[in-house]
Chain A
Amino acid sequence: MHEHKAPHGPIPRRRDGRVSSLSQRRSIALDAVAKVGAVALFLVRLLGQCIPALVRPQLIIRQIYNAGARSLVIIMLCGLFVGMVLGLQGYQLLQRFGSESALGMAAALGLIKELGPVLTALLFAGRAGTSLCSEIGLMGATDQLAAMEMMAVDPVRHVVAPRFLGGLIAVPLLAAIFSCVGIYGAQLIGVTMMRIQAGTFWSQMQSAVGLRDVNEGLIKSVVFGAACSLLAVYEGFHAEPTAEGVGLATTRTVVTSAVLVLLLDYMLTAAFL
């Protein structure tokens, strides 16, 4: 398809031929607003097709497998290392105040509320988001989406909605697994290496982590899952039908997803405080 062109014509230039910085900024801002609008309209169309897509649950299950189950190894591996790093850093920091017994609580809260959802979403965007985007983009480039349209099958219902729903369901599950493996990693360092008492480690965690914290992590991961999946399917569906176009769309998916996840994380954290 097309690049996102400025909806307001060419960028005005100064007499010396250079683009005036004010015009350039105005153009970039208007482009960004136009893109947000386009994504929002696509989301409305997509949500309208999500319920009809539920009629064929096997399509959604296949996408949960593609986006979720196939990301398990990378998610668990990263979760383990992040948990172990948290264990080491947290132990060193807490030791300064003589409160290393609080390591379990600190690691669990950090993982459940923050690192689990955010890192899972970033990994998901890199592993599954790129795959979603390029798959849909290539389907467009090889006329498969047009063929569906011609067979009176809405590609948004048959191709896009199952992938979006698959990502939406997979990310919270992956985030929960990430946090669990991360806590196990922190426990490996804290209890096995640093000799914190296992009872203290777990009981501190149990008393400090409440349902509210789990809910916060859950809501964040659902929102991030929706954002990453939406961007991936949007970029794939609107990719220019060439090799270069699909490549650019895939790059945009990762970059925009990463920025959006961190922005949303800040907004949600502020809202939950």
Chain B
Amino acid sequence: MIDDDIVVEVRGVHYAIGTHAIFKGLNMRVRRGAITAVMGPSGTGKTTLLRLIMGQSVAQRGHVTVFGKEVAGLERRELYKLRQRVGLLFQNGALLTDLSVFENVAFPLREHTDLPEPVLRELVLMKLQTVGLRGAAELMPAELSGGMARRVALARAIVMDPEMLIYDEPFVGLDPISKGVIVRLIQSLNRLLGTTSIVVSHDVREISAIADDSYLLAEGKVMAEGSPAELCKEQTESVRQFMSGTPDGPVPFHYPAPDYFEQLLARPDA
């Protein structure tokens, strides 16, 4: 692992939707070959960060560099070239509903390569075998459970052997077995193929077990960074609250609201 080799660099990024500021000077770096965890409470802009890295959104200020190229300045063709080097696992899988599992995984290969059908078939079956769904190749997405759909989407994300894999909340809604399978897959893809991985998640336990670096986002900035072990030792109250998952602390559980009893006792027409 070469420490200086930075795949993604986010420098002083400011991003707002309307008047609502999501990022206020965000800085982070993703090392080549490392698993980088991006954590943070809901609504801190974790998915927005992925959109900025993939060039789907453009920051109002600051720089996002991927493979040494400024994403905001890329033309559509160059952006597509860059995206071919990256695999993205969507939170809900985002499988194409009119194609079978096999065709979903084969989709990027059919679009970007001229591989002969037997080679393509072998590749797809190998990726499906990796996620344990070779037997489901002929099923349609509507026939899959949520966890199976996520695994098919993962097979599709790795079918082009990307240099970097981005996982958007890969553990949400999965049973413990599927969760364990996904954790092991992320780890083995990273260790065996040297794939750089960015995992956006708030499942602290799962992600801490495999991440090399982690960033904790809050209030539009990086609240803490370092290895998961370092984050666990962090003394800042808000970091400790997030890492231990307690409702009481500087990060409020409740959305700002008027007094509870006053609201309950108030007459609606008053």
Binding site for B on A (CB under 8 A): 139, 142-144, 146-154, 158
Bound complex: CA A270 to CA B148 (Å)? 59
Are A151 and B90 CB-contacts (below 8 A) given A142-B97, A144-B96, A144-B97? no
Q: How many A-B residue pairs have CB under 8 A?
A: 47
Q: Can you add 6 more A-B contacts, CB < 8 Å, to A150-B54, A152-B84, A153-B107?
A: A143-B94, A146-B90, A147-B88, A150-B88, A151-B111, A151-B156
Q: Which residues of A contact B86 (CB under 8 A)?
A: 150
Q: Does B108 count as interface, using CB distance less than 8 angstroms?
A: yes
Contact code string B82-120 (vs A, CB < 8 Å = 1, else 0): 011010101010111100000000011001100000000
Q: What's the nearest-Cβ distance from chain B to residue A125, in Å? A: 22
Q: Which residues of A contact B42 (CB under 8 A)?
A: none
**Interface SS of chain A:** helix
Q: Does B61 count as interface, using CB distance less than 8 angstroms?
A: no
Q: Which residues of A contact B96 (CB under 8 A)?
A: 139, 144, 147-148
User: Which residue of A has the minimal Cβ distance to B112?
Assistant: A152
User: Which residue of B has the minimal Cβ distance to A138?
Assistant: B97
User: Which residue of A has the minimal Cβ distance to B111?
Assistant: A153
User: Which residue of B has the minimal Cβ distance to A150?
Assistant: B88
Q: Does B56 count as interface, using CB distance less than 8 angstroms?
A: yes
Contact A150 B92 (CB under 8 A): no
Within 8 A of A (CB), among B25-83: 54, 56, 76, 80-81, 83
Bound complex: CA A144 to CA B141 (Å)? 12
Q: Which residues of B contact A146 (CB under 8 A)?
A: 56, 90, 94
Are A152 and B83 CB-contacts (below 8 A) given A142-B97, A146-B56? yes
Sampled A-B contacts (15; CB under 8 Å): A139-B97, A142-B94, A144-B97, A146-B56, A147-B90, A147-B94, A149-B83, A150-B54, A150-B56, A150-B86, A150-B88, A151-B107, A152-B83, A154-B80, A158-B111
Q: Which residues of B contact A144 (CB under 8 A)?
A: 94-97
Q: What's the nearest-Cβ distance from chain A to residue B143, in Å? A: 16
Q: What's the nearest-Cβ distance from chain B to residue A216, in Å? A: 37
Bound complex: CA A152 to CA B86 (Å)? 10
Q: Which residues of A contact B156 (CB under 8 A)?
A: 151
Closest 6 CB pairs of A and B: A147-B94, A143-B94, A152-B80, A152-B83, A150-B88, A152-B84
Q: Which residues of B contact A151 (CB under 8 A)?
A: 83, 107-108, 111, 156
Are A152 and B81 CB-contacts (below 8 A) given A143-B90, A143-B94, A144-B94? yes
Q: Which residues of B contact A150 (CB under 8 A)?
A: 54, 56, 83, 86, 88, 90
Bound complex: CA A150 to CA B80 (Å)? 8
| Set A139, A149, A153: member contacting B56, Cβ < 8 A | A149
User: Which residue of B has the minimal Cβ distance to A62?
Assistant: B98
Bound complex: CA A143 to CA B81 (Å)? 21
Q: What's the nearest-Cβ distance from chain B to residue A190, in Å? A: 46
Bound complex: CA A228 to CA B111 (Å)? 29
Q: Which residues of A contact B111 (CB under 8 A)?
A: 151-153, 158
Q: Which residues of A contact B54 (CB under 8 A)?
A: 150
User: Which residue of B has the minimal Cβ distance to A149?
Assistant: B56
Bound complex: CA A146 to CA B90 (Å)? 9
Bound complex: CA A143 to CA B56 (Å)? 13
Q: What's the nearest-Cβ distance from chain B to residue A92, in Å? A: 50
Q: What's the nearest-Cβ distance from chain A to residue B133, in Å? A: 18
Bound complex: CA A151 to CA B84 (Å)? 6
Bound complex: CA A144 to CA B95 (Å)? 6
Bound complex: CA A151 to CA B88 (Å)? 8
Bound complex: CA A83 to CA B70 (Å)? 63
